[in-house]
Amino acid sequence: KDKKDGVQLIPLLRMDQGPKDAIVESGIVCAQCLKVSPKHRCSRCKSLTYCDRECQSSHWKQHKKVCRPNKLKPRADDYGRQGRKRYCEENGAAIMFIRDHPYPDTIEGVQSLIGQRTPSFYTEAIHKEFAKVYEYVSKNTFKVYGRELGILLYEHGETNQNGNGMDLLHSSLHILLKVLTSHPLIAQKDRDQCLIAESMARQTLDFAWDGIGNWTC
């Protein structure tokens, strides 16, 4: 595995990717200098992230070959056979992790896994929606179901939680990511796949919820 500035790069997302490309496309590091937790995202494709304008300008000659508007949003053919095939190729690690580590069947199972009680809004109905969205992290229609969940949660918070729709959205994202990262993992491969699945879920929900309330990606 490659290393840069003490950062351990995660393994392949696609068969045609190297470790460096995989972690760059996850948004965890700056696409130019590979420093962790970059602050700025490419405003055109909203895919790669950078430390600052200088890093983005330095990387543009390479990035402009693949940069296209709204890269993470569904394309017209995302729901057909070719779309599914492409999605599997691009997100194989996340797909394998979700397949092997399903969402708990009950609320009690969620609480046991994450080691804390779920908030009062987390009812049986909400639990079923979370389970559905978690499963669809590994499918090419994840963005659609993720947005449906976001709208449901926001409206529930506005109506039943004293207008706290945004607080409920933030709490919900925390729960979903907490479930993803709380599975007991021993093998390094499983831990690497978990990191990829978490990054993918966080990034895609961020875009799926863009515009709900004052949520901005």
**CB-CB contact of 117 with 153 (8 Å):** no
In this prediction the pTM is 0.56
d(CA 88, CA 14) in angstroms, rounded, equals 8
DSSP tag of 68? -
Residue 78: the pLDDT is 44
Average pLDDT, the chain: 76
Rg of the chain over all Cα atoms, to the nearest angstrom = 18
Note the pLDDT tens digit of each residue in 136-182.
Answer: 765 655 666 778 888 888 888 888 878 888 888 888 889 988 998 89
DSSP tag of 36? B
The three-state secondary structure class of 209 is coil
Note the pLDDT tens digit of each residue in 85-121.
Answer: 555 555 667 777 887 888 999 999 999 999 999 988 8
